[in-house]
Amino acid sequence: MPTILVTNDDGIHAPGIHALWEAMQTLGTVVVAAPNTEKSAVGHAITIADPIRIESLNRTNGFQGYAVNGTPADCVKIAVQALMDSPPDVIVSGINMGSNTGNNVMYSGTVSAATEGTILNIPSVAFSLDALRKGEFTYAKKVAQKVATRVLEKGLPKGTLLNVNIPGISESDVKGLKITRQGNVFFKDRFERREDPRGRIYYWMTGSLEDPDTDPNMDGQAVADGFVSITPICYELTDDTMLKALQEWDLE
């Protein structure tokens, strides 16, 4: 029986991690380690200046997990290196409420948990549902089972993880699965300037999601078109084209 580590960034109390935990039951022995509160948009943050505490969570429905006062990357590090007897065969992160496509991959705690797994040489997959507030995970769970099963069979190359985004529509409307590229979806920020009751200025970061892509093979566009988007991503960030161009710069 394979061992599967389940984590997320919405926190251990989020419905998405319960859905993922349920989906993984049929595939192997499941261990859950997730942040004790929501840690969205923490990117690949880790906790080096504060102590990390772990609490065990036991639900009447059988759900057990480690609640960690840390980031998604912390959860993966401590689960693999201090809490589990041996490393898991696969790490799955999610199911996130809201898609993680394009530039947003950089900010995503869901993806960063899978990146951390990959850094630790464990095949890892991030799952996100393109829906906010509505928690209909039935189809997303099937996708998670299918992808995790294949990853357990085939493994993933060292340094590569899968970023899976599932459209928030009913199963009958889904057009299929598509292997995609990371596109150019971005969050157009706006800072709202306000005054607090003591007369001090503060700002809220807000804005709207924009997708300039029209190519159907880009992650955001594929999801908008009704496909499950599967993007292989890699944290080896060297820009080879620029590497050559830089040799011509007069820097000495």
Within positions 200 to 219, which residues make up the interface with its own copies, using CB under 8 A? 200-205
Residue from 24, 73, 91, 114 touching its own copies (CB under 8 A): that is: 73
Phi, psi of 126 (to 5 degrees): -105, 135
Q: Contact between 173 and its own copies (CB under 8 A)?
A: no
Paired tokens of 126: 């991030």
Q: For the CB of residue 197, give the shortest distance to its own copies in the complex, in Å.
A: 12
Region of 159 (left: φ > 0; alpha: ψ -120 to 50; beta: rest) is left
In this structure, what is the dihedral angle of CA atoms 93, 95, 96, 101, given to the nearest 10 degrees?
80
**Considering the complex, what minimum distance in angstroms separates the CB of residue 208 from its own copies?**
13
- Shortest distance (Å) from residue 16 CB to its own copies: 17
Q: Among 20-28, 56-64, 133-141, 192-200, which window interacts with its own copies (CB under 8 A)?
A: 192-200
User: What mask of x and - would describe binding to its own copies in positions 19 to 58, judged by CB under 8 A?
Assistant: -------------------x-xxxxxxxxxx-xxxx----
Contact segment (CB under 8 A) with its own copies among 57-65, 129-137, 156-164, 208-216 equals 156-164
244 exposure class (CB count in 10 Å sphere: 0-12, 13-18, 19+) = exposed
Q: How far apart are CA 92 and CA 79, in angstroms?
A: 13
Question: For 61-129, where are the alpha helices, taking DSSP H only?
Answer: 72-78, 109-119
Name the nearest CA neighbour of 150 among 179, 117, 182, 125.
125
Cβ proximity to its own copies, 85 vs 189, nearer residue: 189
Candidate list 182, 213, 222, 227; residue touching its own copies; CB under 8 A: 182
Under the binding rule (CB under 8 A), the answer on residue 1 touching its own copies is no
